[in-house]
Amino acid sequence: AGNVFVWVFSLAMWNLMSRSINVDSLAFHHIKTGPSDSIKFKFDETKTDKTGEFVQEKNCYANPLHAHLCFFTALGCWISINSERLESTEKLFLIPGSKNGTASSRYCTKLAELVNQYADIAKCHLRVSHFNAHGIRKGSGTHASSATTLPPSFVAVAARGEWSIGKILDVYFKFAMGGDQYLGRILALLDPNDESFALL
């Protein structure tokens, strides 16, 4: 539909397995280069961790096989289109002077409009009457856990999705980055059963 905002915001939610409100405040200081060919994202805080003490880095990867599914391509297009606005702010989606949550709210509205506009196609993939933006985060977790016979560990999925499994996750598995790197490639929608999975 040509809505670049919905495209990049959706891919951010999917790849980061984050709530729309976290993507709302996404800023350049949250982004760093990762190991080999990933980009690491680390939020200042989350809904369950307001101090940011246990916030983990999330490795995201490109999908050079399918440009429309590639978070790197979408992010590059968004930054290019908004380059003038981004000269005066580090926030990727919040317009200067607007309150936190406005980009998330705009996204949810635009996404609902898009799903309703293409309801005949959408109903082949989801129940339109039950659809909301929060399902993208849960959908990426479901995809990562069931799209292959060798899924990433539940711990990596729970950590990335910020689903609590208690202090065990916080204490013992906080630094399980290997699982997150594997998970990041699956969320880039690369096929883990294909030799192209390790494609740089």
**Whether this model's pTM surpasses 0.75:** yes
- Over residues 125-158, the pLDDT tens digits come to 888 888 888 888 888 888 888 877 778 888 788 8
Contact between 103 and 24 (Cβ < 8 Å): yes
- Res. 48: pLDDT tops 90: no
Arithmetic mean of pLDDT, 78-101? 95
- Over residues 175-192, the pLDDT tens digits come to 455 677 888 888 998 988
Mean confidence (pLDDT) of the chain: 88
Whole-number Cα distances in Å, 131 to 93, 114, 137, 167: 23, 12, 12, 32
